[in-house]
């Protein structure tokens, strides 16, 4: 199994979150799909114009700023969505690089990216006592609605995979 798929699986189903006993899902008073798309556009533009390092600094600052709120907010959810998108893209790229090359360049391995992502998101959800099922729901929104926006901005010349008649997908 490719490591980028492992990252997606970790977030979607086996994300190591602190146990949140009988926590109820928050009530959302925002359009989650629109929020994720806006977050994707914002982090995509930063990534495309300033690089992954600046995008990661932006996300780190996002967590610091919006993690101070007394309740889970659309802005904090945007931080999580941006983190998921950036790390998914980096994991896909890094999974194609020889691990020795990553080590020599001081870049993290895909496993290290995954562990750090799990820690950040686990901490984010624990702060507001959000149940793990919400991590899965947000990941689905990110994959379906956010990643296409992010990837189109970051890789504008890449062709999207179009289903072809007669071929199994």
Distance between first and last Cα of the chain: 17
CA 111: distance to chain centroid?
15
Predicted TM-score (pTM) of this structure: 0.81
Q: Could you say which DSSP state residue 128 is in?
A: T
Higher pLDDT, 12 or 59: 59
- Where would I find the H helices in the chain? 3-12, 32-50, 52-66, 74-94, 99-105, 110-127, 132-141, 147-154
Q: What are the distances in angstroms from CA 126 to CA 87, 141, 150?
A: 20, 20, 27
- For 11-37, how does the pLDDT look when each residue is reduced to its tens digit (9 = 90+)? 444 344 554 555 677 789 999 999 999
pLDDT of residue 159: 73
Residue 91 has pLDDT above 50, yes or no: yes
Question: What is the C-alpha to C-alpha distance for residues 165 and 19, in angstroms, rounded to an integer?
Answer: 45
Contacts of 36 (CB under 8 A, 6+ apart): 77, 78, 81, 138, 141, 142, 145, 146
């Amino acid at each position: 199994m490719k490591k980028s798929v492992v990252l997606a699986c970790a977030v979607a189903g086996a994300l190591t979150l602190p146990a949140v006993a009988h926590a109820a899902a928050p009530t959302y008073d925002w359009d989650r799909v629109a929020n994720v798309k806006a977050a994707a556009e914002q982090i995509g533009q930063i990534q495309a114009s300033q690089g992954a390092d600046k995008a990661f600094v932006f996300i780190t600052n996002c967590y610091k700023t919006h993690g101070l709120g007394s309740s889970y907010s659309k802005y904090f959810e945007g931080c999580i969505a941006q983190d998921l998108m950036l790390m998914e893209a980096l994991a896909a790229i890094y999974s194609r690089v020889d691990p020795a090359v990553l080590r020599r360049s001081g870049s993290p391995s895909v496993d290290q990216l995954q562990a750090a992502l799990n820690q950040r998101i686990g901490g984010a959800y624990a702060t507001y006592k959000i149940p793990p099922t919400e991590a899965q729901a947000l990941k689905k929104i990110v994959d379906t609605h956010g990643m296409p926006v992010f990837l189109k901005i970051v890789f504008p010349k890449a062709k999207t995979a179009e289903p072809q008649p007669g071929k199994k997908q």
